[in-house]
Structure 1
Amino acid sequence: MPSSIILTGATTGIGRATALALAGRAGHLILHGLEPESQVTDLLGAVRAALPPGGSLSYFAADFSALVEAERLVSDVRGVTDRVDLLVNNAARPGPPTRTVADTGVEVTFQTNYLAPVVLTSGLLDLMTAGRIVNVASATHLSSSLHLDDLTLARHGYTPSSAYAHSKLALVTYTCWLAAHRPSPTVDVVSVHPGIIATRLLHAMFAVGGEPPEHAAATIEYVASLHGDNGTYYDERQPAPPNPEATDPATQDRLHAVTVDLLAY
């Protein structure tokens, strides 16, 4: 049966390259981006050309800095499919130059990179009876620590890179929690550091070079093709230990509880 694939953050950088890489294996490819459809017609045309015979493409715009738009994306996806075989949570933003709070009162990096993927994933879980959830993380999460009493960084020191690393640690921790609470033993939940990739996101925070986005896309496509690895964190293509906080069940449960409270806005 052809695969139904969802990819977020599909219009730039790693996501754009991944959209093109995944198109050939998709029966129905559902892409998300920040831009309205009229601004990404070139990408959508290239993706359509790469689809297999009979394949279809849907595109939805949503700004994850507003959780109501992540909720709307859930409705949009459910309107075009009743099955999800692969969900790739790739959408992310760098930390802004100064701490910025979204309309929910949550620090915007944490909301975009962590809370929005949780909203989307939770809203689609019942459509997954088999398949994979791949959360695109970052090796920067290894240097962070979860501030469970201050997840929106109101009291801890703020820098763009520390906010980004903090949000990615939350995403890896959520991956480990969800792996232990998955809806079916035939659904695997994993996270992956796709490499140091030369994108606008990277260069907004770090003065370093990197591999081209196609390198990350090939890594994500490879990890997406695996199975039987529930809960694994990948450093590119190799299983690796994540931040120890992410694998601690008590920390996972505390993050889950705080997340539920934050989403009751």
Structure 2
Amino acid sequence: MPSSIVLTGATTGIGRATALRLAGRAGHLVLHGLEPESRVADLLGEVRAALPRGGTLSYLAADFSQLVEAERLVSDIRAVTDRVDLLVNNAARPGPASRTVTDTGYEVTFQTNYLAPVVLTSGLLDLVTEGRIVNVASATHLSATLHLDDLGLARHGYSPSTAYAHSKLALVTYTCWLAAHRPSPSVDVVSVHPGIIATRLLHAMFSIGGDRPEHAAANLEYVASRRDDNGTYYDERDPASPNPEAADPATQDRLHAVTVDLLAY
């Protein structure tokens, strides 16, 4: 049966390259981006050309700096597909120059990179009955500390890179929690550092070079094709140890409890 694939953050950088890479294996490819469809028409044309015969493409826009849009995206995806074989949570943003709080009261990097993927994954979980969830993380999470009493970094010293690494540590911790609480043995939940990639996101925080987005896309396609590796954290294509905090079941449970409170699930 052709695959139904959902990819977030699909219009720039790693996401754009991954959309083109995954198109060839998709029966139905659902792409998410920040921009309205009219602004990504060229990309969508390239993706349609790469789809297999009979493949279909849906494009849905949502701004994860507004949680209500992440919630709406769940409804929009459910309106175009009744199953998800592969969910790739790739959408992310760098930390802004100064600490910024959204209209829902959360630090914007944490909301975009962690809370929104949790909202999306939770809302689609019953469609991923025999599928795979890949959360795109970052090796920066290895040097972060999870501040469960200050997830918005109001008291622990804000910087753009700190906020980004903190949000990715939360995402890896959530991945480990969900892997331990997956709804079915036929669902695998993993996270992956796709590489150091020369994108606007990287250069907004770090003055370093990196590989092309196509390098990350190849790594994501490789990880997306694996099976029976539930709970694995990948450093590019190699299974690796995540931050010890992420691997700690007690920390996972505490983050989950706080997240439930934040999102009022």
Q: Give the TM-score category using the shorter length.
A: over 0.9
**1:124 is matched with which residue?**
124
Cα distance in 2, alignment partners of residues 13 and 3 from structure 1: 23
Give 1:102-251 correspondences, 5 Å limit.
Answer: 102-251=102-251
**1:55 is matched with which residue?**
55
In structure 1, what residue type is equivalent to 2:153?
L
For normalisation by structure 1, the TM-score amounts to 0.99
Secondary structure in structure 1 of the residue aligned to 2:87:
strand
Secondary structure in structure 2 of the residue aligned to 1:113:
helix
In structure 2, what residue type is equivalent to 1:79?
A
**2:79 is matched with which residue?**
79
**2:15 is matched with which residue?**
15
**C-alpha displacement at 1:264, in angstroms?**
2.3
**C-alpha displacement at 1:160, in angstroms?**
0.1
Secondary structure in structure 2 of the residue aligned to 1:147:
coil
**C-alpha displacement at 1:200, in angstroms?**
0.0
In structure 2, what residue type is equivalent to 1:126?
D
In structure 1, what residue type is equivalent to 2:38?
S
Cα distance in 1, alignment partners of residues 150 and 208 from structure 2: 30
**C-alpha displacement at 1:128, in angstroms?**
1.2
Cα distance in 2, alignment partners of residues 263 and 43 from structure 1: 33
Cα distance in 1, alignment partners of residues 117 and 29 from structure 2: 18
For normalisation by structure 2, the TM-score amounts to 0.99
Runs of at least 5 residues in structure 1 that lack an aligned partner in the other structure: none
In structure 2, what residue type is equivalent to 1:255?
L
Which is further off, 15-24 or 149-158?
149-158
Cα distance in 1, alignment partners of residues 255 and 83 from structure 2: 28
Secondary structure in structure 1 of the residue aligned to 2:234:
strand
Percent identity between the two aligned chains:
86
Cα distance in 1, alignment partners of residues 5 and 184 from structure 2: 18
Cα distance in 2, alignment partners of residues 146 and 128 from structure 1: 28
Runs of at least 5 residues in structure 2 that lack an aligned partner in the other structure: none
In structure 2, what residue type is equivalent to 1:146?
L
Cα distance in 1, alignment partners of residues 190 and 253 from structure 2: 18
In structure 2, what residue type is equivalent to 1:24?
G
In structure 1, what residue type is equivalent to 2:227?
H
In structure 1, what residue type is equivalent to 2:86?
L
In structure 2, what residue type is equivalent to 1:87?
L
Q: CA-atom RMSD, angstroms?
A: 0.7
Secondary structure in structure 2 of the residue aligned to 1:40:
helix
Matched positions, count? 265
Cα distance in 1, alignment partners of residues 103 and 140 from structure 2: 26
Secondary structure in structure 1 of the residue aligned to 2:116:
helix
Moved over 2 A (4+): none
